[in-house]
Amino acid sequence: KNQVEQSPQSLIILEGKNCTLQCNYTVSPFSNLRWYKQDTGRGPVSLTIMTFSENTKSNGRYTATLDADTKQSSLHITASQLSDSASYICVVSFNTDKLIFGTGTRLQVFP
Amino acid sequence: ETGVTQTPRHLVMGMTNKKSLKCEQHLGHNAMYWYKQSAKKPLELMFVYNFKEQTENNSVPSRFSPECPNSSHLFLHLHTLQPEDSALYLCASSQRQGPTYEQYFGPGTRLTVT
């Protein structure tokens, strides 16, 4: 069964600290993997997208990694800011047009 | 702003009401999507339209009826909903249908069915 699992479900950190969010998937055949940020009451916004051949991609303070062999991805946030408080959703696409969404990690950054 | 707008942002309706959600994209995209997002559950794809033609219906109950009059507009007509239909309904668009095309999401409509 094609699944995307994210951990932790929720995370609280202090402003300025780093954190890492995890995404494990069992999707096959793999096409690409995206990380989205979703602020409360808003739609998801894409942070990064990685294909099979890419193992790291950065977008400002966000760095995503991909290990296609172990089917794991992580999103590392450096020097967190209050505005990083949001849900982070891992989305894996497979076959030709299917997307599998994770349930997300709820991140709260406190001053 | 992502270039995708949704109205209304909030909607409360009774189970016997009929209402419609509207989505408009200003990105020149050809594919549009409806998603349902319930608490603590992954986004669920409901419908996909590619060049105004419905290409996917993920076993959505008939009380949800989509309409795509052109590539820029997408509607979701609602009637005789159930309380479990309360959720955030998200619209998205992409250049074309397919996993290589990034989807841009609207802000969503928070629907409450009483």
Q: How buried is residue B4: exposed, middle or buried, by Cβ count under 10 Å (0-12/13-18/19+)?
A: buried
Tokens of B76: 């979701």
Cβ–Cβ of A94/B105 closer than 8 Å? no
Task: Count Cβ atoms below 10 Å from residue B80 Cβ, excluding itself.
Answer: 14
Which residues lie across from B84 on neighbouring strands?
Answer: none
Q: What is the pLDDT of residues B9-54, one digit of tens each?
A: 999 999 888 999 999 999 999 999 999 999 888 999 999 998 888 8
Contact status, residue B15 vs residue B80, Cβ threshold 8 Å: yes
Please tell me what DSSP assigns to residue A1.
-
Q: What is the 3-state secondary structure (H, E, C) of B60-75?
A: CCCCEEEEEEECCEEE
Distances from the Cα of A51 to the Cα of A6, A18, A58, A111, B60, angstroms: 19, 25, 14, 35, 30
Distance, in Å, from the CA atom of A54 to the CA atom of A52, rounded to the nearest integer, reads 6
Which residues of chain A are within 8 Å of residue B5 when distances are taken between CB atoms?
none
Distance, in Å, from the CA atom of A10 to the CA atom of A48, rounded to the nearest integer, reads 21
When scoring B5, B34, B100, B111 by the number of chain A Cβ atoms within 10 A, the one with the most, hence best to mutate, is B100
CB contacts < 8 A, A to B, total 50
Distance from CA of A3 to the nearest CA of B (A): 10
Q: What is the pLDDT of residues B53-107, one digit of tens each?
A: 888 888 899 999 999 999 999 999 999 999 999 999 999 999 988 877 889 999 9
Which residues of chain B are within 8 Å of residue A94 when distances are taken between CB atoms?
99
Please tell me what DSSP assigns to residue B81.
-
Which residues of chain B are within 8 Å of residue A104 when distances are taken between CB atoms?
42
Q: What is the pLDDT of residues A47-95, one digit of tens each?
A: 999 988 899 999 999 999 999 899 999 999 999 999 999 999 999 987 6
Distance from CA of B13 to the nearest CA of A (A): 19
Taking phi first (over 0 means left), then psi (-120 to 50 degrees means alpha), and beta for anything else, what does residue A2 get? beta
Distance, in Å, from the CA atom of B92 to the CA atom of A40, rounded to the nearest integer, reads 17
Distance from CA of B109 to the nearest CA of A (A): 9
